[in-house]
Structures are given as C-alpha cells and as structure tokens.
Structure 1
Amino acid sequence: MSRQRILIIGGVAGGATCAVRIRRLYEHCEIIIFEMGSYVSFANCGLPYFIGDVIVGEEKLLVATPALFENRFNIRVCTDPQVLSIAVSPGRDDSLQKAQGNLPIRSAR
C-alpha cells in the first residue's frame, strides 16, 4: 500500500505552518505544498517596513525556501502553479488542506 499523501493548497503563514506541523505528527506521509506565488514563506509582519523603505530588498523578508522545506522537513513545494482541480484516485488515503489566502483589493487612488 502506498503511503498517505497530503496536498496543501497555499503556502506562506497558513500552508507552510500546516505542512510543518503535519510532518511532526506524521513522519512517513508524503506532503506537497502548492503555492500560487513565487515565495513559499515570508515575514508578513515585515511588510509595513518593506513598504516604508525601512527594509530594503524583498529577499530580506524571505523566511524559508522550497529547498529548505525539502531538505529539512521532506516536504515538496511547487511554486507558481494555479491549482484548478484535484484528481482523486480510488483506494488512496489522501488528504487535502486548503490554506490559500486571498488576493488583495487595490484602491483606485
């Protein structure tokens, strides 16, 4: 029997935290994060400082890379895809976690 696969749609605070917690609880399952953006984990609380030019360079906000998730936690990360549907295989004990955020509303000012 194949090992359980857990798919997580969304990264950053919700999805990345969920993935690491699942890894600690279930050592042998396969975990895959699908993050629609280019960054799987960044410091959200630092965004006001970035916008205010206190922090210069977006790379200083990055917390973890896909390589870190793979090497340290054995979690596969797919950045930049847009998940439109999920194909379910009969007989598999898989799980889907939805941790996607939302798109910002930009004012017209």
Structure 2
Amino acid sequence: MRRRVCCTDPVRLIAAGELARDTTPLLQPTVIDLLRRHRPWHIDVDLAGVTFLDAAVIRALLTCRADAHQLDCRLTLSNPSTSHPPDRARRGSPANIRRD
C-alpha cells in the first residue's frame, strides 16, 4: 500500500490484483500503522485495481473499519469493480496493496 497524508485529504490506500485470505495479513497492520502514525480523519481504500475479493477480505475490511472508528476516523471503499469475477482457475496475479 502507498500512503498520501494531507491535513484535508483522506489517506488513500490503493489495492490491486487478487485480495484473498492470504493477503489479509497485509491490510489490518497497514491501517493500524496509518492510524497510529498519522491519526487521519478519513482512510479511503481504492479498489479500482482489484480483480478478486473474497469473504476473508471483507471481514478484514470490517475489522479495519472498527479500528478506525475507535479513533474517530472514517474508513470508506471507493471504485469497486462492477464486472463479474473471473473463473478461479483463470485468476491473474496475486494482490498488491500499497499506500498512496
């Protein structure tokens, strides 16, 4: 994940590729690090580059939202794909999560 911190802009996390159970360990520590170091008022998770997302990631995102809420920070999702998920046998490369 890449990070962009500004006093008026939300912190933006950009996710790309496949997000599944094996990538969830990256998500919550990144959000917690942002909350501790920068105390943002808003974190936006940009899903435009995500090609697959499973239930484990949804649970992780809900946990991140609860973590953010405890510090009066809003966590939102933006740019979700509206296309149908690819067949699991044809899925592409693993996920990349970076801070913007």
Task: Give the TM-score taking structure 2 as reference length.
Answer: 0.41
Higher strand content, 1 or 2: 2
Q: Tell me which of the two structures has the higher relative contact order, counting C-alpha pairs closer than 8 angstroms and 6 or more residues apart.
A: 2
Higher helix content, 1 or 2: 2
